[in-house]
Amino acid sequence: MSGLGGLNKSPNGVVMGLVQLQLPVVKTKADLAAQTQRIVDMVAKARRNQSTMDLVVFPEYSLHGLSMDTNPEIMCTLDGPEVEAFKQACVANKIWGCFSIMEANPQGNPYNSGLIIDDQGEIKLYYRKLHPWVPVEPWEPGNLGIPVCEGPNGSKLALIICHDGMFPEMAREATYKGAEIVIRTAGYTAPIRHAWKITNQANAFCNLVYTANVCMCGSDGTFDSMGEGMFCNFDGTVMVEGSGRPDEIITCELRPDLVREARATWGVENNIYQLYHRGYVAVKGGAQDCPYTYMQDMAAGRYVLPWEASVQVTDGTSCGFEAPTRSYAGSQVPPLKKVA
């Protein structure tokens, strides 16, 4: 159920709005300031749009556009004016918000980061995109893991960004850490439309989790983002789906209590549980091992594809970026606590 898009909010519901924001062009600090104000204005529009809304979600690249520009002058920091403006917008409108920034990184390329800010102006979740969309994106690979936070009305939220959602491990990790709603923000363009839809649905079904997914929308004169926000139920069905109309806000009521009920009571297709309890009809508690070679090899640092030597695109030179010379430094901050 979606409660008519959240118009009829239940006591256990979380009403979310996904903003199919018009794709901007941001080249200067003045452009950045103007786009920041536009997002602030859209937070206010979301509140006026629906008094029951708990959380408004902006797409990846909503602040910077799709230029992939790493100019330090338009990069952001957590204590910078852009994030401060987002905090104040959430406070002024008494609403939670999910925002995208390109974050300055003194040690290398900028991070593609996402923030969830509560209605008191506090950052509740801070995430750096783990899987930049190579070879197109220049962003530093994230080093904060996949955090989960307490959200509105007792919900548990995770955020993954765009290409992250093409890796089944991302939604599974978020769910394993307690997420009941996995937000996926994106800047995708039309060629990814089919993959976008099926992965949003599969991520939901395979993990008994709601997915709330939204792209940038419209054209910047070069790129055409597709919008097409969508909420997926934990059985994989699409609950609400947006169009390709820029600045449309699509809304839905999600019920985390029903996720908890399904995870506790489903036998058939309780996949997130059965992954580690396979065949429990035949053997007590199921087989609790790791039969997956790729998991074993990745953990041991020896992940190699059978066709590895034939892979032709292994850096960003095809998209105009110089080949990197430094290696990944690994995690630089302690992981956030797992939400119980």
Q: What is the pLDDT of residues 182-226, one digit of tens each?
A: 999 999 998 999 999 999 999 999 999 999 999 999 999 999 999
pLDDT tops 90 at residue 1: no
Its pTM stands at 0.96
Supply the DSSP symbol for 148. Answer: E
Rounded Cα–Cα distance for residues 164 and 128 (Å): 11
pLDDT tops 90 at residue 330: no
The pLDDT of 103-123, averaged and rounded, is 97
Catalytic site residue from 76, 90, 98, 129? 129
Predicted pLDDT at 289: 97
pLDDT tops 70 at residue 5: yes
Catalytic site residue from 60, 103, 140, 180? 60
Query: What rounded mean pLDDT belongs to the chain?
Result: 95
Task: Find out whether 178 and 208 touch, Cβ atoms under 8 Å.
Answer: no
Show the domains of the chain with their CATH numbers: 3-274 (3.60.110.10)
94 as an active site residue: the answer is: no
Q: What is the pLDDT of residues 238-249, one digit of tens each?
A: 999 998 999 999
162 as an active site residue: the answer is: yes
Torsion, CA 26, CA 28, CA 31, CA 36, rounded to 10: 90
Catalytic site residue from 76, 90, 98, 162? 162
- What are phi and psi for residue 222, nearest 5 degrees? -125, -55
Of 129, 127, 132, nearest to 158 by C-alpha is: 127
Q: Which residue has the higher pLDDT, 140 or 335?
A: 140
Task: Find out whether 122 and 151 touch, Cβ atoms under 8 Å.
Answer: no
129 as an active site residue: the answer is: yes
Task: Find out whether 107 and 96 touch, Cβ atoms under 8 Å.
Answer: no
H or E stretch at 115: strand 111-117
pLDDT tops 50 at residue 336: no
